[in-house]
Structure 1
Amino acid sequence: MVTVDKAAPFGKAAEIAWQDLGAGVKRRILCFDDHLMVVEVAFEAGAVGALHSHPHRQASYVQSGRFELTIDGQVAELGPGDVYFVSPDLVHGAVALEPGVLVDVFTPAREDFL
């Protein structure tokens, strides 16, 4: 398994290593450059993406599972095919109601993930 190279034209998920974040959450960076990053995040049932904020814009796609999302105090339950958007610096987090995967897109890229 490998990590993806900056600005690589293709990201083959099956060849990209997962990073275990603990507490039932893991992620892998699928592609990125300085301006954009695509990250896949897998959650076990009950796993929590703790409330946090960052200066990046984030758009996320629910690939599978069901999640309770909180963004700036608003709460919604989302499932496969649903999306959400987080403006810079808004407090947000997720709870996996069942096992699932989110696909996160950040701009600019999350240097702290590298």
Structure 2
Amino acid sequence: MNTLFIFVGGHARQNNGDSGIGLCYHTDPRGEPFFEEAEYIGLETQNSTVYHAIIRALNRASEWHFKDVQVYLDNRLVAGQLNENMSVRAQNIIPLYDRIKKLAEGIERFTISYVSADKNRRSRELAKSAAIASPDRITAQAIEFEVKPGINGLVMAFTPKMMVVRFTYQEGTWIDFHSHYHEQASYLTKGLLKYVVADQDILMTPGAALVVSGNSDHKIEALEDTTEIVIYSPMRWDLLNIS
């Protein structure tokens, strides 16, 4: 029986404030996740966000027909409640608790385990990022990051469904073959960039545009100092670093 390992996180910016969930799905808990997701879920408490994340996890497990599901979280209270070591008293939690118990009936083996925050860091980061991304607004926030020496990114604006990022490349730098489930549309404003997609070399000059489908392996090489604008759909949660 294949086992689905899911690390879940929830974050509320304030109690009953903007909130998000983050989940990392593995078939090997020591390896890289095969799928990640994050979502803004409105106004919630810190504990209720974790319950919502577990509900999402169980719905995914059912959708993918997994019968052995192990969920990991760093919230001691929620882990204790779902393992029936602690009572559930909060009125907003009781229906979420009942829903999880109902969903778990459709799974042959379901476990909840507490892990340290360090071991659950990735899902926590996803949840924190999602908490600032309300679908009702476009967030314009300059978030700088380094891809590797000579290649830098600047998140310019985002909603949960899209993100605009500016990349700058020094001549001679490159990003080796990689893929992500996001579709990307690239526009060059300066320089010369070579994409390798489906064994084809594609040269981009200023004013050129290129769309790369989700999960498509591609390589990028800067033939000159280059500036590129990329629109990701949906947004790249992994490019945000929200404290």
Q: Does 2:161 match 1:35?
A: yes
Larger radius of gyration: 2
Partner amino acid, structure 2, of 1:51:
F
Q: Does 2:203 match 1:58?
A: no
Query: CA separation in 2, counterparts of 1:31 and 1:93?
Result: 24
Q: Does 2:193 match 1:67?
A: yes
Query: Which of 194, 197, 204 is equivalent to 1:78?
Result: 204
Q: Which has the higher strand share?
A: 1
Partner amino acid, structure 1, of 2:225:
P
Deviates more, 1:63-72 or 1:39-48: 63-72
Partner amino acid, structure 2, of 1:38:
V
Q: 1:16-53: CA deviations, max 9, x gaps?
A: 35322222100000000110000000000001022111
CA contact (8 A) 2:195 2:219 kept: yes
CA contact (8 A) 2:194 2:223 kept: yes
Query: CA separation in 2, counterparts of 1:20 and 1:78?
Result: 22
Q: Which has the higher helix share?
A: 2
Query: CA separation in 1, counterparts of 2:154 and 2:176?
Result: 18
Query: Which of 100, 107, 110 is equivalent to 2:233?
Result: 107
Secondary structure class of the residue paired with 1:18: strand
Question: TM-score, normalised to structure 1's length?
Answer: 0.84
Please, which runs of 5 or more residues in structure 1 have no aligned partner? none
> Higher relative contact order at CA 8 Å, sep ≥6: structure 1 or structure 2?
1
Query: CA separation in 1, counterparts of 2:182 and 2:225?
Result: 26
Secondary structure class of the residue paired with 1:77: strand
Query: CA separation in 2, counterparts of 1:57 and 1:39?
Result: 13
Partner amino acid, structure 1, of 2:203:
E
Please, which runs of 5 or more residues in structure 2 have no aligned partner? 1-131
Query: CA separation in 1, counterparts of 2:236 and 2:182?
Result: 7
Query: CA separation in 1, counterparts of 2:177 and 2:148?
Result: 16
Query: CA separation in 2, counterparts of 1:70 and 1:42?
Result: 18
* Structure 1 residues 111 and 49: CA distance shift in structure 2, 3 A: same
1:80 shift after superposition: 0.4
1:68 shift after superposition: 1.1
CA contact (8 A) 2:143 2:156 kept: no
Query: CA separation in 1, counterparts of 2:210 and 2:219?
Result: 11
